[in-house]
Amino acid sequence: MTPSPNPPPLDPALVRLLQVVAVAANESTSLEGALRTCLQAVCEHTGWAAGHALLVQPGGELASADVWHAADPARTREFHAALHATPANGDALAARVARAGEPAWITDLSAGHAALAEAAARAGLHAAAAFPIRVGHETAGVLEFFFGQAPAPQPGLLEVMLSVGTQVGRVIERARAEEALRSSEAKFAGIISISSDAIVSVDEDQRIIFYNRGAENTFGYTADEVMGERLEMLLPEGSRARHEGQVREFGASPVPARRMGERGQITGRRKSGEIFPADASISKLDLGGRRIYTAVLRDVTERVQAEEALARQAEELARSNAELEQFAYVASHDLQEPLRMVASYTQLLARRYGDRLDQDAHEFIGYAVDGVQRMQALISDLLAYSRVGSRGGTMERTELEAVLRRSLEALRTAIEESGAEITHDPLPPVTGDAVQLGQVLQNLVANAVKFRGDGQPRVHVGARRAGGEWVISVRDNGIGIAPEYAQRIFVIFQRLHTRAEYPGTGIGLSICKKIVERHGGRIWVESPPEGGSVFYFTLPATGEAE
Ligand code: ADP
């Protein structure tokens, strides 16, 4: 309705009506109460006989809100009962208003629903008006009024009634918001109560105002025992002052939530007095002018124990490894001396008494010398193996290409004798121990030449960048390795052949593995379909070496 340019003054009764309704809408604690107050106020201020409220249900249909007011209840009782018995969609006026969202009138109730019309006539009610209850653009219900005869047009009445509808709409809106809040609170409370984490809220004085079931299980106190008490009771004595300081500092900081302490720093105290390590985070919230701190805390005793056990094991392992290496080093070092003596005296025997010994004796001396040499090779390889961890050099920028060159130099005789052709890709600079990387390449190339097949040995050293690492490969066209032995050959002393077939100690690849792993890489072998073998190892590609 557009107000006319000079609206006539509002009837003071209507102004009072508006005030009453506005107060009722603001103060009502229930929708039903607000509806009742409004119906009564409208009837009293207009002199209308009766009022009835209907609400649009969640499914969209209109239904009586069972709120009714009559100026003379005795006279309208029968009509009220008839109205109650009529389905809302039979109440044509209310249904029309609900659909259109606009006020509507009927001046002749006798034309409507038969039972209703008869009861209305008996109660002396002949006309009705209905107004929408609006929540925004939505029609949430209808206020319906009955009277003896259509009231005389009254300036501003329609606007006032529309305003009444809007005020009631506000109550509905509020009721809906409260319902949504209640259900979300219920959901939230449900989550909090089943959480196995301890959730404890305190006010500014550090008094406990919330304590969930997880907290009961963690601390051993029931909620009744701690509510209103100071948080201190859940903290070990030694950490109370520090904790207070931390909370104060957090309270002053701009962040709304943070993790508390570093690992192992946060501890809690159970009712039994037991102190336990915890992971915790804290958040703050200003609620109704009060500051509330909430800590979510998890007992990590088991995890800390497991970590400690792991650390102990790792330490023990490192110590026993170091001891073993030390033992291998000392043993191999000390074994060399008596062995040299056996070798030199055996050789002396052969030289000095050679002409007095027969053929068999020379043969036996030969075996003894061979045994000594093998033992020497074993010992020196074992020594090399034990030195990888304990006597490793520093990790520094190393030109792999130069390393390969030196390794090939060391293998020159073997390469020349076998007629092997050695090729290689450009090799990258890496970060590593040049001497040890040289050992790896030398062992792999030596094996590639040693385990050759019938044709000319061809060996290719390749390099390929894969993500954050370099993959170095040594490919040969030799006798190959059955896939089932691919793992075993990296284990110390594991060989696939007799010494008569191929000489060796079975230590070379285990040294390679140890060195590569010390550099943070992996080593493995593959058997390509065209024969031969390809040994791969990776080295982390450091920023500088890229
Ligand atoms: P060694 O060479 O002293 O026997 P390694 O540890 O270097 O010891 O090698 C272990 C075993 O792996 C070798 O005995 C051999 O059976 C196998 N192997 C190593 N490299 C090759 C290769 N390039 N081709 C075929 N077999 C190989």
Q: What is the pLDDT, as a whole number, of residue 13? A: 80
Mutate to test the pocket of ligand 1, among 378, 382, 509 (most ligand atoms within 8 A of CB): 509
Q: Look at 474 and 497; give whichever has higher pLDDT.
A: 474
pLDDT digit string (tens) for 234-280? Answer: 999 888 888 888 888 888 888 888 777 654 468 899 999 999 988 88
Residue of the CA atom closest to atom 20 of ligand 1: 447
What percentage of the chain reaches a pLDDT higher than 90? Answer: 45
Ligand 1 pocket test target in 379, 447, 473, 505 with most atoms within 8 Å of CB = 447
Pocket test for ligand 1, best of 445, 473, 489 (most atoms within 8 A of CB): 489
Query: For the segment 73-87, what is each residue's pLDDT rounded down to a tens digit?
Result: 999 999 999 888 887
Rounded to whole angstroms, how far apart are CA atoms 28 and 173?
Answer: 12
CA 113 to mean position of chain CA atoms = 64
Closest CA to 200 of 173, 184, 221, 171: 221
Percent of the chain with pLDDT over 70: 96
pLDDT recorded at residue 36: 92
Cα 507 to ligand 1 centroid, rounded to whole Å = 9
For residue 545, name the pLDDT band (cuts at 50, 70, 90): very low
pLDDT band at 439 (very low <50, low <70, confident <90, very high): very high
Task: Write out pLDDT tens, residues 443-457.
Answer: 999 999 999 989 999
Beta bridge partners of 258: 282
**In angstroms, what is the span from residue 402 Cα to ligand 1's centroid?**
25
Residue 431: pLDDT band (50, 70, 90) is: very high
Q: Whose CA is nearest to atom 21 of ligand 1?
A: 447
Alpha carbon of 535 to ligand 1 centroid (Å): 11
Q: Which ligand 1 atom minimizes the distance to the CA of 443?
A: 7
On the question of pLDDT at 193 being above 60, the answer is yes
pLDDT band at 7 (very low <50, low <70, confident <90, very high): low
- Output the CA 398–ligand 1 centroid distance in Å: 27
Nearest C-alpha neighbor of 490 from the set 427, 541, 535: 535
| Confidence at residue 115, expressed as pLDDT on a 0 to 100 scale | 82
Task: Using alpha carbons, list the distances in angstroms from residue 246 to 197, 260, 282, 313.
Answer: 21, 9, 10, 35
User: What is the distance in A from the centroid of ligand 1 to the CA of 515?
Assistant: 17
Cα distance between residue 16 and residue 347, in whole Å? 131
Ligand 1 pocket test target in 495, 524, 526 with most atoms within 8 Å of CB: 495
Q: Is the pLDDT of residue 152 over 80?
A: no
3-state secondary structure of 5: coil
Check residue 261 and give its pLDDT: 63
Mean pLDDT score, 366-382: 87
The mean predicted confidence, pLDDT, of the chain is 87
Please enumerate in sequence order all residues whose Cβ is within 8 A of that of 57, keeping only pairs 6 or more positions apart, or say none: 63
What is the pLDDT confidence band of residue 89, given thresholds at 50, 70 and 90?
low
- The pLDDT of residue 90 is 64
Residues with CB under 6 A from ligand 1: 443, 447-448, 451, 476, 478-479, 481, 489, 495-497, 504-510, 533
Question: How close is the Cα of 430 to the center of ligand 1, in Å?
Answer: 26
Indicate the pLDDT class of residue 543, thresholds 50, 70 and 90. Answer: low
Is residue 359 pLDDT above 70, yes or no?
yes
* Model pLDDT, residue 5: 53
Mean pLDDT value of segment 161-185: 86
For a ligand 1 pocket test, name from 379, 380, 382, 451 the mutation site with the most ligand atoms within 8 angstroms of its C-beta.
451
Secondary structure E strands in 477-544: 523-526, 534-540
- Res 284: pLDDT: 87
CA 440 to centroid of ligand 1, rounded, Å: 13
Statement: residue 145 has pLDDT above 50:
yes
509 CA: nearest ligand 1 atom? 6
406 vs 380: which has the higher pLDDT: 406
pLDDT the model gives residue 263: 45
CA of 495 relative to ligand 1 center, distance in Å: 6
Mean pLDDT of 428-435: 93
Taking the centre of ligand 1 as the mean of its atom positions, its distance from the CA of residue 371, in whole angstroms, is 21
Greater model confidence, 533 or 11 = 533
Q: What is the pLDDT of residue 264?
A: 47
207: left (phi over 0), alpha (psi -120 to 50) or beta: beta
Q: Is the pLDDT of residue 88 over 80?
A: no
CA of 526 to the centre of ligand 1 (A): 13
